[in-house]
């Protein structure tokens, strides 16, 4: 439910012509969205999107502007923000060139996707391609434009085998410095961005160097091997085991630097795009730790 401007009487966005640039291949069909996937590297995570633009043969090409709104805080309106670095006007007046008789894929810059530290369970997205840029510092999704097209989509989180699988971000220090010590203890966290608890898998793999890792226990005293299952609570915070902390001990060995990669995973679905809805995709949460001994990190 919402109060989005979808009709002329509510001030909804509209275009007076679809003879020039449009979203997708056919005006009037929601076929402009091509991709919407999360990169699980931070909380909140960055989102990757892609859209198709085109113009009919003999139509009016030239410069158009792509704008995207997402109701991140799920209050039934566009505009404002869902937290720090989470504006609902996620793509602002991205200039694109439309060529008559041709289609092109537009990949806007990444933007953070979240409702505070959690993910919106279901949000509405508006995508507009217009001849004129949208004016102002905030936008609620309305306005009349000379040419272009507007498309709306509900954006949903995926399921795995019919279940609400967690969506997990693993974060470890980018650098661990021994500073002359024989061992160094550090902590990694796994955070569930979804409002449902569950379990995830994680692993640590040496890329180069001779530093060894010795597994320990997490903050709740559960034993872990260096790669195994982790049970995490529901987002947003409040559950005692979300995030779950994993304490590891690095053991000096050989020359420095030494690098280890880490990975956490659950279902890893691809984005699903239909004319009626978008289901988010995401891949493994990955990163790398560099171990040094009083030296600056490598570039």
Say if residue 274's pLDDT is above 70: yes
Averaged pLDDT for residues 141-162:
91
Give the pLDDT confidence score for residue 21 in this predicted structure: 93
Structure tokens at 144: 């009349």
CB neighbourhood size of 242 (10 A): 23
Lowest mean per-residue pLDDT among 59-63, 184-188, 235-239: 235-239
Going by pLDDT thresholds of 50, 70 and 90, the confidence category of residue 217 is low
Specify the pLDDT at position 218: 64
At 295 the pLDDT is 72
pLDDT, residue 129, reads 96
Q: Which residue has the tokens 């040496």?
A: 206
Tell which residue, 47, 56, 51, has the closest CA to residue 127. 51
Closest CA to 32 of 12, 9, 55: 55
Contact 128, 66 (CB under 8 A): yes
Domain 168-292 has CATH 3.30.565.10: no
pLDDT band of 226, cuts 50, 70, 90: low
* Percent of the chain residues past pLDDT 90, beyond the cut: 67
The pLDDT assigned to 3 comes to 80
pLDDT of the residue at 237: 67
pTM: 0.90
In the predicted model, is pLDDT for residue 262 greater than 90? yes
pLDDT at 116 over 90: no
**For residues 23 and 34, what is the distance between their CA atoms, to the nearest angstrom?**
10
Sign (positive or negative) of CA dihedral 43, 198, 272, 139? negative
**What CA dihedral angle connects 41, 268, 170 and 220, to 10 degrees?**
150
Per residue in 77-103, pLDDT (tens digit) is 999 999 999 999 999 999 999 999 999
Cis peptide before 151 (omega within 30 of 0): no
CATH fold, domain 12-156, is: Immunoglobulin-like (2.60.40)
Q: Give the Cβ contact number of residue 245 at 10 Å.
A: 14
| Alpha carbons 254 and 257: distance in angstroms, whole number | 9
Beta carbons of 16 and 143 less than 8 angstroms apart: no
Ordered by start, the domain boundaries in the chain are 12-156, 168-292
Q: Do domains 12-156 and 168-292 have the same CATH topology?
A: yes
Output the pLDDT for position 107: 98
Q: What is the pLDDT of residue 5?
A: 83
């Amino acid at each position: 439910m919402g109060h989005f401007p979808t009709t002329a009487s509510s001030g909804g966005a509209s275009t007076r012509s679809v003879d020039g640039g449009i979203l997708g291949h056919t005006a009037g069909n929601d076929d402009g969205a091509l991709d919407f996937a999360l990169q699980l590297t931070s909380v909140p995570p960055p989102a990757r999107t892609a859209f198709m633009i085109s113009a009919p043969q003999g139509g009016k090409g030239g410069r158009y502007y792509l704008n995207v709104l997402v109701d991140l805080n799920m209050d039934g309106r566009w505009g404002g923000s869902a937290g720090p670095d989470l504006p609902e006007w996620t793509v602002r007046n991205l200039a694109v060139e439309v060529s008559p008789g041709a289609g092109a894929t537009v990949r806007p810059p990444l933007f953070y996707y979240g409702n505070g530290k959690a993910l919106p369970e279901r949000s509405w997205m508006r995508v507009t391609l217009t001849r004129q840029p949208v004016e102002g510092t905030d936008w609620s999704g309305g306005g009349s434009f000379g040419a272009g097209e507007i498309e709306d989509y509900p954006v949903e989180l995926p399921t795995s085998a019919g279940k609400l699988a967690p969506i997990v971000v693993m974060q470890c220090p980018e650098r661990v410095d021994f500073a002359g010590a024989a061992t160094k203890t550090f902590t990694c966290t796994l955070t569930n961005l979804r409002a449902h608890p569950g379990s995830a898998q994680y692993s640590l793999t040496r890329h180069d160097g001779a530093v060894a890792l010795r597994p320990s226990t997490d903050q709740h005293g559960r034993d872990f091997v260096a790669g195994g299952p982790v049970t995490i609570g529901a987002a947003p915070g409040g559950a005692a085991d979300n995030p779950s902390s994993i304490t590891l001990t690095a053991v000096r060995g050989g020359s420095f630097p030494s690098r280890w990669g880490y990975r956490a995973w659950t279902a890893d679905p691809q984005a699903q795009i239909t004319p009626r809805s978008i289901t988010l995709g995401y891949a493994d949460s990955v990163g790398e730790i560099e171990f040094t001994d009083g030296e600056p990190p490598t570039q």
